[in-house]
Amino acid sequence: MLRQFRPQRSLAKQPISRLLAAWQEPSRSYSIHANAASTAKIQDIDPSKLTITKTKAPKELIPASELVFGRSFTDHMLSIEWTASEGWLAPRITPYQNLSLDPASCVFHYAFECFEGMKAYKDSNGKVRLFRPTKNMERMNKSSARIALPTFDQAAMIKLISQFSQMEERFIPSTKGYSLYLRPTMIGTQKTLGVGPPGSALLYVIASPVGPYYPTGFKAISLEATNYAVRAWPGGVGDKKLGANYAPCIVPQLEAAKRGFHQNLWLFGEEEFVTEVGTMNMFAAIKNKETGQKELITAPLDGTILEGVTRDCVLSLAREKLVPEGWKVLERKYTMKELSEAAQEGRLLEAFGAGTAAIVSPIRNICWKGDMVDCGLRPEEEAGELASKMKNWIEARQYGDEEHEWSYTVPE
Amino acid sequence: MLRQFRPQRSLAKQPISRLLAAWQEPSRSYSIHANAASTAKIQDIDPSKLTITKTKAPKELIPASELVFGRSFTDHMLSIEWTASEGWLAPRITPYQNLSLDPASCVFHYAFECFEGMKAYKDSNGKVRLFRPTKNMERMNKSSARIALPTFDQAAMIKLISQFSQMEERFIPSTKGYSLYLRPTMIGTQKTLGVGPPGSALLYVIASPVGPYYPTGFKAISLEATNYAVRAWPGGVGDKKLGANYAPCIVPQLEAAKRGFHQNLWLFGEEEFVTEVGTMNMFAAIKNKETGQKELITAPLDGTILEGVTRDCVLSLAREKLVPEGWKVLERKYTMKELSEAAQEGRLLEAFGAGTAAIVSPIRNICWKGDMVDCGLRPEEEAGELASKMKNWIEARQYGDEEHEWSYTVPE
């Protein structure tokens, strides 16, 4: 049986001898709920138990050209409740509806929440496809475990998301660039204020039809390097997709916007390492100072940057297609100073952000300590060569124009 | 008028010349909602507009001895909605009830949430008293502003909390050590997935009757110094009372519990500075190595520790009552190495945590790199001299046994 860790009170009554005995005998342990799904006694997600309640008031489709990211949602939602004693209960697809939660629920107080961002696409045959869904489910389990929320069977969840996406397929426009944004979300629902692992949780998926990020072609963005706030820290949670990583980013984003920039750029440490662009990973293409070698660089997964799925796609495609053309692909730390020097010496070829929303987002320049670091685009250019290629390569696999294991065709 | 910052799309369409013009002209600004309440056009919290709907099913009181922190709540709750266009709407006291929220609400995805912990006490005349409520409201405004949630008029909010506490006074046991824990909470309620400042929010207060933290007298706690995870960092949000700071703390807390410790101790940096105990501030009383001077030390407010109200009480009382007795009171950085050396040399007199829940929590020892640092208590002792005095001094002011400006008597 799982035991709730309710801090201090009961343990405080134990004599120190017993505490030390416990210390010497690590087997006397308080289970971490994050491991709950892997124990035998409580049940994992079971797609065969899915119940479906269809809406009686199907929504009218919004014209594709009027879609705004995350503003309109489909007819239904997928929900799965979890309790520490029973595990994952029967999945339900119901009409999209409000959640009714006790005001003491721990999601409102202690940010017990994590999420994923993924998309369903319609291919040229009208079939629904998911893109690398295992990557998202793997990451979601890492996120939830880090905040003592339950983990789950990834294949079972992909099956349910597939079924849900297929059910909502009328909301996915067939036009290239359009897709159905899927938002798996897990929240802690325990309704007590003690700070401890949630004894209950809710995993749900909502879906929002979205248009292309750049409807009329790329528009390069301008960034402000943030030097007064720090997004993440080694030993922190900046590599997980937790709600906790987002609210604190808004004020720096607004500060950058106030001065006319599209996004802020997160730096780290006295060295001013480049980490992330707003809510995207960042890539820079430079010519090596000594050798002239062309290098595509991005920050390593050291705990301070999100483990982006698009980041992984860019790296994979670069290794597959750019390395044979003579490029080097490097996951390594790099600084603003290095970018600035490369820019001054004409060695900064291009830079771009990478994320699920935009796929790639070309960067025109970065304001750093009041100076503008020019990222290599000509004035009339909105995207560099690599950014353009990457977008095409990734989209070809997302929409199934190129058959590839990254694309998962949903059974009808 | 406030303008929504919806990232990228609209700005991305702007030519760089316009962006740079904006950069050169800082007056063209995107308002941060956090400042909204201070602008003239939208309304602040107005206690005169309060409406009260009383419950038709008053709860039975739970016997005082059976109260568990944050598990049972009073009959009613206080709620105030905010929108970016209208400001704070009319406050409402209603029966305690579930919140009904769209599953896309930003509180579930991006941790737009902050809270306070404060208490209402019943004095020997049966009058309800709040303790330093301005401190809590000040801090709540700092927390909300940091995550682009709205701020509010502190005096107006204290008036409403007073009225709410008075209404729930039957839930406050008259016995010393008991109180009504008040939980002001603010959440972002905007129901779109774009990462930006919430255009709507809800501020609510729920109340839970609580018993003394140590019902049978102090019990000293054992800590495990955490060396693999970091709670907060300079430039982060660790000094604010955000939900975001709590969920990531559970796994380290469970890890410490697994090895038999009551709480973990948060360190910072290669120097292993001592920062916080679990969810409390930390104090150490040492004899200076060179001078033999008795010093009460606690970490400074450098952004990595919570600005605790109890911390402030302990510092004030120490300056008022201990300094005349020859103590030095210091807010300065100190390391585990320093504590360990002091312990070995018999100079670590005592250590304790400080927070609203326990007031003070004596520390017996700290496990650091596998060694036990003894914090100066004799085996039969459960609290040091300072911890005992502090608890008494603070309680005297909380319960109005000593009339003091910290205690705010609620008008009947």
CA–CA dist A200, A189 (Å, integer): 5
* Token pair in block for residue A32: 């971490």
Q: What is the pLDDT of residues B148-182, one digit of tens each?
A: 999 999 999 999 999 999 999 999 999 989 999 99
Contact A247 B188 (CB under 8 A): yes
* Token pair in block for residue A51: 């119940």
**CB distance B101 to A99 below 8 Å:** yes
Residue B245 per-residue DSSP state: G
- pLDDT band of residue B147 (cuts 50, 70, 90) is very high
Residue B45 carries which side chain, given as an amino acid letter? I
* Token pair in block for residue B103: 């599953």
Q: Is A18 helix (H, G, I), strand (E, B) or coil?
A: helix
Nearest to A7 among B100, B244, B262 (CB): B262
* Best of A71, A94, A110 to mutate (most B CBs within 10 Å, chain B): A110
Contact A28 B188 (CB under 8 A): no
**Residue B7: half-sphere exposure toward Cβ, Cα within 13 Å:** 30
Contact A101 B101 (CB under 8 A): yes
Considering only residues B38 and A205, tell me which one the structure prediction assigns the higher pLDDT.
A205
**Quick count: other Cβ atoms within 10 Å of Cβ B361?**
28
**CB distance B4 to A213 below 8 Å:** no
- Using a CB-CB distance cutoff of 8 angstroms, which residues of chain A are in contact with residue B221? 8, 11-12
Nearest to B247 among A104, A147, A222 (CB): A147
| Helix ranges, A147-227 (H) | 154-167
Nearest to A108 among B187, B197, B259 (CB): B187
Nearest to B109 among A32, A104, A115 (CB): A115
Residue A40's pLDDT is 52
Nearest to A230 among B69, B234, B248 (CB): B234
- Using a CB-CB distance cutoff of 8 angstroms, which residues of chain A are in contact with residue B110? 243, 246-247
Q: What is the pLDDT of residues B39-75, one digit of tens each?
A: 456 899 999 999 999 999 999 999 999 999 999 999 9
Residue A36 per-residue DSSP state: G
Contact A109 B111 (CB under 8 A): no
Q: Min CA distance, A288 vs chain B (Å)?
A: 28
Rounded mean pLDDT of chain B?
91
Residue B376's pLDDT is 97
Residue B33's pLDDT is 41
* Best of A14, A254, A359, A364 to mutate (most B CBs within 10 Å, chain B): A254
Contact A242 B111 (CB under 8 A): yes
Query: Considering only CA atoms, which of A326, A316, A268 is closest in space to residue A292?
Result: A326
Q: What is the ipTM of this complex?
A: 0.91
User: Count of A–B CB contacts within 8 Å?
Assistant: 305
- Using a CB-CB distance cutoff of 8 angstroms, which residues of chain B are in contact with residue A8? 213, 221, 262-263, 358, 361
Q: What is the pLDDT of residues A314-371, one digit of tens each?
A: 999 999 999 999 999 999 999 999 999 999 999 999 999 999 989 999 999 999 999 9
Q: What is the pLDDT of residues B239-291, one digit of tens each?
A: 999 999 999 999 999 999 999 999 999 999 999 999 999 889 999 999 999 99
Q: Is B50 helix (H, G, I), strand (E, B) or coil?
A: coil
- Using a CB-CB distance cutoff of 8 angstroms, which residues of chain A are in contact with residue B211? none
CA–CA dist B14, B276 (Å, integer): 46
How far, CA to CA in Å, does B33 sit from each of A104, B186, B335, B369? Answer: 26, 14, 39, 45
Residue B99's pLDDT is 98
CA–CA dist B366, B368 (Å, integer): 6
Q: Name the stretches of chain A with pLDDT < 70.
A: 1-41
Q: Min CA distance, A328 vs chain B (Å)?
A: 30
* Best of A6, A32, A193, A270 to mutate (most B CBs within 10 Å, chain B): A193
Residue of B nearest to A257 (CA): B30
CA–CA dist B272, B279 (Å, integer): 18
**Quick count: other Cβ atoms within 10 Å of Cβ A107?**
28
What string of DSSP letters covers A27-72?
Answer: TS-PPPGGGGGGSSSSB---GGG-EE---SSPPPPPPGGG--TTTS
- Using a CB-CB distance cutoff of 8 angstroms, which residues of chain A are in contact with residue B371? none
Residue of A nearest to B29 (CA): A258
Residue A412's pLDDT is 86
Show the domains of chain A with their CATH numbers: 47-210 (3.30.470.10), 221-398 (3.20.10.10)
* Token pair in block for residue A250: 């808004």
In DSSP terms, A385 is beta-bridged to none
| Helix ranges, A212-276 (H) | 250-258
Contact B197 A249 (CB under 8 A): no
Residue A215's pLDDT is 83
Residue of A nearest to B229 (CA): A235
- pLDDT band of residue B5 (cuts 50, 70, 90) is very low
Q: What is the pLDDT of residues B284-297, one digit of tens each?
A: 999 999 999 999 99
Contact B244 A245 (CB under 8 A): yes
| Helix ranges, B8-153 (H) | 9-12, 16-24, 106-110, 133-146
In this predicted structure, the answer to whether residue B366 has a pLDDT above a threshold of 70 is: yes
Q: Which helix (H) or strand (E) holds B270?
A: none
* Token pair in block for residue A189: 């629902």
Could you tell me if residue B394 is left (phi over 0), alpha (psi between -120 and 50 degrees) or otherwise beta? alpha
Q: Measured at the alpha carbon of residue B156, what is the angle toward residues B155 and B159, in degrees to the nearest 5?
A: 85
| Helix ranges, B147-282 (H) | 154-167, 250-258
Contact A20 B260 (CB under 8 A): yes
Q: Min CA distance, A352 vs chain B (Å)?
A: 14
- Using a CB-CB distance cutoff of 8 angstroms, which residues of chain A are in contact with residue B8? 213, 221, 262-263, 357-358, 361
Residue of B nearest to A243 (CA): B110
Nearest to A222 among B19, B107, B236 (CB): B19
In this predicted structure, the answer to whether residue B13 has a pLDDT above a threshold of 50 is: no
Phi, then psi, of B369 in degrees rounded to 5: 55, 40
Out of B104-118, B203-217, B241-255, B372-386, which region has the weakest mean confidence (pLDDT)? B203-217
